């Protein structure tokens, strides 16, 4: 999205298509019901002021029968208000969760595709840190608060239209004595309400401006602290082995000190708004009575008309004060929307960066042949610095090739094959056949049952699991067979060596034709690494093997080697 677009335009561009999505008929029906119920809420507010006027007139007239009649009307108003409020809340929450689900799916779909979740970490064109918090928390606030704020704004507009007419009628006509002459003024209560509310809104907006900055900074600080804790949990074993607890505690302390710093700024901003709102609330209770009371004292209006004037003034004032009353909610909503927009912008920038016509891009092709070809391949960093130049090689089906030398270059070479590293020049011809199977240093094991984790990314019912227990025995993990249907956090519960052996189990399950191994056994001793490579060669004798390793034991299982 172009940077020059306004904030609201960007938000509507991102989230607006929800009302034109596949489920648009139901969404629009619910939105129409939501609007209708909001109008009913406004109608009930008008009816209550009319009822209030009739009630106080009955009291002023000392009429018991009129009082009993108003009690009957109150019961009807009470029941109608309960029904409208309850149904309104249900419809509102249905729209909120549907919008959140749609936007979450859209952002995740853009983030979790073609390796973008990995590639975006290498670009610096927009803020995109802590994508988990932006997707899980900021999208919730962006959609929920958008509905809440839109409803309150629409309701305020309806109140303003309805009660301005009522207040204008109740204001009557007064003569303003300016000394030399008098000026007739109609609707003076409306004029006073507009001036009063406008001054309050401007002052409230000015007082609340710092809260927007503080709220955004607070969300970022909280996300950084949470991310640090999660990262420490994921690497708890490594931290414990090198006794890094002291450093981690220092990092957590620094993270939390930043939270405290921003929290204090936010507290100051909140206190300023609270002082303003408290004073405004007290003044709003007494002010309309004071300006309307003279007409009642002079006998120009009844007690009921006085109370109706006060209520109408308060409703008009509340409607006009919507910006000031919603300052905190607007600040939180805008901060969350900006964080979501930053993540989406980063994904858009990444897509534009990858798809734009640029000679400094690696060309991936898939001709009808079972050969992996590197044609004058050059790998570069994002700043253009070359890390591998004019690399030309070919790997035929069934070959076992060992790649030695610079492990960082080898890692980027594997990423280029997978399409995750487009930065460079030259051409890679991929074999036209079964997909390649990449074995990383640490296989991803999602939470759930061990059986499900092993079969990832497929579900167990789609895996060839008849020989699963035999594979466990072959890799030396017989003790885990009994835990196949146990639910756990396997990336924490298992040692790194066990996880790398499980990577071999997954490989044997999928039985691919092309296998790329990137230091996948660096946690094993040389004998165990040799055992895993021997097992792969025995169980998958026709597979092509491309192994990135500098271990001497690996050479015996490969027919040739490439040195980077």
d(CA 353, CA 320): 46
Q: What is the pLDDT of residues 229-257, one digit of tens each?
A: 888 887 776 788 788 888 889 889 999 99
pLDDT of residue 123: 67
What is the phi/psi pair of residue 545, to 5°? -120, 125
Answer whether residue 543 shows pLDDT above 80. Answer: yes
Q: Residue 152 is encoded by which pair of tokens?
A: 């309150």
Answer whether residue 191 shows pLDDT above 90. Answer: no
Residue pointed to by tokens 């002082």? 275
Pairing of strands 182-186, 173-177: antiparallel
Q: Angle at the Cα of 113 (from 109 to 114), degrees rounded to 5? A: 165
Rounded to the nearest 10°, the torsion over CA 490, 493, 497, 500 is 0
Q: What is the pLDDT of residues 410-447, one digit of tens each?
A: 888 998 998 888 888 999 999 977 788 999 888 888 88
**485 DSSP assignment:** T
Please, what are the domains in the chain?
Answer: 7-355 (1.20.1560.10), 363-563 (3.40.50.300)
Instruction: State the CB neighbour count (10 A cutoff) for residue 375.
Output: 15
pLDDT of residue 466: 67
Q: Residue 175 is encoded by which pair of tokens?
A: 């003569």
Under the banding of pLDDT at 50, 70 and 90, the label for residue 88 is very high
Pairing of strands 363-365, 424-429: parallel
d(CA 300, CA 215): 50
Q: What is the pLDDT of residues 367-388, one digit of tens each?
A: 888 899 999 999 988 777 888 8
More confident residue, 129 or 458: 458
What is the phi/psi pair of residue 517, to 5°? -110, 115
Q: What is the pLDDT of residues 325-362, one digit of tens each?
A: 787 788 889 888 988 998 888 888 887 777 776 677 88
More confident residue, 312 or 44: 44
What average pLDDT score do residues 204-208 get? 75
Q: What is the pLDDT of residues 470-520, one digit of tens each?
A: 899 999 999 999 999 899 888 888 998 999 999 999 999 888 999 999 999
Answer whether residue 467 shows pLDDT above 90. Answer: no
Report which of 410, 168, 420 is spatially closest to residue 308, judged by C-alpha positions.
Answer: 168
pLDDT of residue 4: 37
What is the phi/psi pair of residue 363, to 5°? -95, 120
Q: Angle at the Cα of 514 (from 519 to 546), degrees rounded to 5? A: 35
H/E stretch holding 81 reads helix 64-111
Answer whether residue 200 shows pLDDT above 60. Answer: yes
Query: Residue 136: CB partners within 8 Å, gap ≥ 6?
Result: none
Answering whether pTM is above 0.95, one says no
Report which of 111, 118, 110 is spatially closest to residue 422, judged by C-alpha positions.
Answer: 118
Answer whether residue 174 shows pLDDT above 80. Answer: no
- For the chain, first and last CA: distance in Å? 40
H/E stretch holding 41 reads helix 24-60
Q: Residue 55 is encoded by which pair of tokens?
A: 């009630």
DSSP letters spanning 227-251: HHHHHHHHTHHHHHHTT-HHHHHHH
pLDDT of residue 483: 92
Residues, the chain: 564
Residue pointed to by tokens 């009660």? 163
Answer whether residue 265 shows pLDDT above 80. Answer: yes
Range among 86-100, 209-223, 276-290, 334-348 with highest mean pLDDT value: 86-100
pLDDT of residue 1: 41
- Class of residue 79 by CB neighbours under 10 A (exposed 0-12, middle 13-18, buried 19+): exposed
Answer whether residue 5 shows pLDDT above 60. Answer: no
Whether the bond into 457 is cis, omega within 30 of 0: yes
Contact 73, 51 (CB under 8 A): yes
Under the banding of pLDDT at 50, 70 and 90, the label for residue 126 is low
Report which of 127, 88, 144 is spatially closest to residue 329, judged by C-alpha positions.
Answer: 144
pLDDT of residue 192: 83
Per DSSP, what are the bridge partners of residue 388? 379
Helical spans, DSSP H, in 172-244:
188-234, 236-241
Range among 80-84, 250-254, 271-275, 290-294 with highest mean pLDDT value: 80-84
Under the banding of pLDDT at 50, 70 and 90, the label for residue 303 is confident
**136 DSSP assignment:** I
What average pLDDT score do residues 300-315 get? 82
Answer whether residue 549 shows pLDDT above 80. Answer: yes
Query: Residue 385: CB partners within 8 Å, gap ≥ 6?
Result: none
What average pLDDT score do residues 12-17 get? 89
d(CA 559, CA 538): 15
Q: How far is CA 38 from CA 28, 45, 47, 312, 425, in A?
A: 15, 11, 14, 18, 60
Q: How far is CA 99 from CA 23, 147, 241, 395, 481, in A?
A: 11, 9, 46, 49, 43
Q: Residue 310 is encoded by which pair of tokens?
A: 């006060």
Under the banding of pLDDT at 50, 70 and 90, the label for residue 2 is very low
H/E stretch holding 264 reads helix 245-297
pLDDT of residue 3: 43
Contact 200, 209 (CB under 8 A): no
């Amino acid at each position: 999205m172009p940077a020059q677009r306004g904030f609201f335009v960007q938000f509507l561009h991102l989230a607006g298509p929800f009302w034109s999505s596949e489920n648009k008929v139901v969404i629009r029906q619910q939105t129409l019901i939501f609007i209708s119920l909001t109008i009913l809420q406004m109608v009930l507010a008008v009816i209550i002021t009319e009822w209030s006027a009739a009630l106080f007139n009955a009291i002023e007239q000392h009429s018991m029968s009129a009082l009993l009649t108003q009690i009957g009307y109150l019961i009807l108003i009470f029941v109608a208000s309960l029904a409208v409020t309850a149904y309104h809340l249900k419809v509102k929450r249905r729209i909120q969760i549907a919008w959140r689900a749609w936007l979450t799916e859209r952002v995740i779909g853009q983030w979790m595709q073609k390796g973008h979740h990995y590639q975006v970490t290498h670009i610096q064109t927009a803020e995109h840190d802590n994508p988990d918090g932006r997707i899980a928390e900021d999208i919730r606030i962006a959609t929920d608060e958008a509905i809440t704020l839109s409803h309150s704004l629409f309701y305020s507009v309806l109140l303003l239209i309805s009660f301005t007419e009522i207040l204008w009628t109740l204001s009557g006509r007064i003569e303003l004595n300016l000394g030399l002459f008098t000026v007739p003024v109609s609707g003076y209560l409306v004029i006073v309400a507009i001036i009063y509310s406008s001054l309050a809104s401007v002052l409230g907006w000015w007082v609340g401006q710092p809260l927007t900055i503080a709220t955004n900074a607070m969300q970022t600080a909280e996300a950084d602290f949470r991310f640090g804790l999660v990262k420490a949990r994921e690497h708890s074993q490594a931290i414990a082995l090198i006794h890094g607890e002291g450093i981690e505690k220092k990092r957590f302390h620094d993270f939390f000190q930043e939270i405290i710093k921003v929290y204090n700024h936010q507290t100051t901003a909140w206190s300023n708004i609270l002082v303003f709102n408290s004073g405004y609330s007290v003044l709003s209770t007494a002010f309309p009575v004071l300006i309307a009371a003279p007409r009642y004292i002079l006998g120009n209006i009844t007690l009921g008309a006085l109370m109706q004037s006060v209520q109408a003034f308060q409703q008009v004032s509340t409607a006009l004060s919507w910006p000031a009353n919603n300052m905190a909610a607007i600040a939180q909503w805008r901060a969350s929307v900006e964080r979501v927009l930053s993540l989406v912008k980063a994904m858009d920038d990444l897509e534009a960066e990858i798809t734009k016509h640029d000679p400094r891009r690696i060309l991936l092709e898939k001709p009808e042949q079972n050969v992996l070809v590197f044609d004058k391949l050059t790998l570069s960093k994002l700043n253009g610095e070359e890390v591998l130049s004019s690399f030309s090689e070919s790997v035929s089906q069934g070959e076992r090739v060992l790649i030695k030398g610079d492990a960082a270059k080898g890692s980027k070479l594997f990423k280029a094959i997978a399409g995750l590293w487009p930065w460079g020049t030259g051409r890679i011809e991929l074999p036209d056949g079964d997909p390649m199977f990449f074995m990383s240093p640490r296989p991803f094991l999602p939470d759930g049952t061990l059986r499900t984790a092993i079969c990832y990314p497929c579900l167990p019912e789609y895996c060839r699991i008849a020989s699963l227990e035999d594979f466990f025995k072959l890799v030396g993990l017989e003790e885990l067979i009994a835990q196949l249907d146990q639910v756990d956090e396997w990336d924490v519960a298992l040692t790194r060596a066990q996880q790398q052996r499980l990577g071999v189990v997954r490989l044997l399950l999928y039985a691919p034709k092309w296998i790329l191994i990137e230091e996948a056994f660096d946690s094993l001793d040389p004998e165990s690494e040799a055992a895993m490579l021997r097992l792969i060669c025995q169980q998958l004798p026709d597979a092509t093997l491309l192994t990135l390793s500098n271990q001497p034991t690996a050479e015996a299982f490969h027919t040739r080697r490439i040195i980077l």
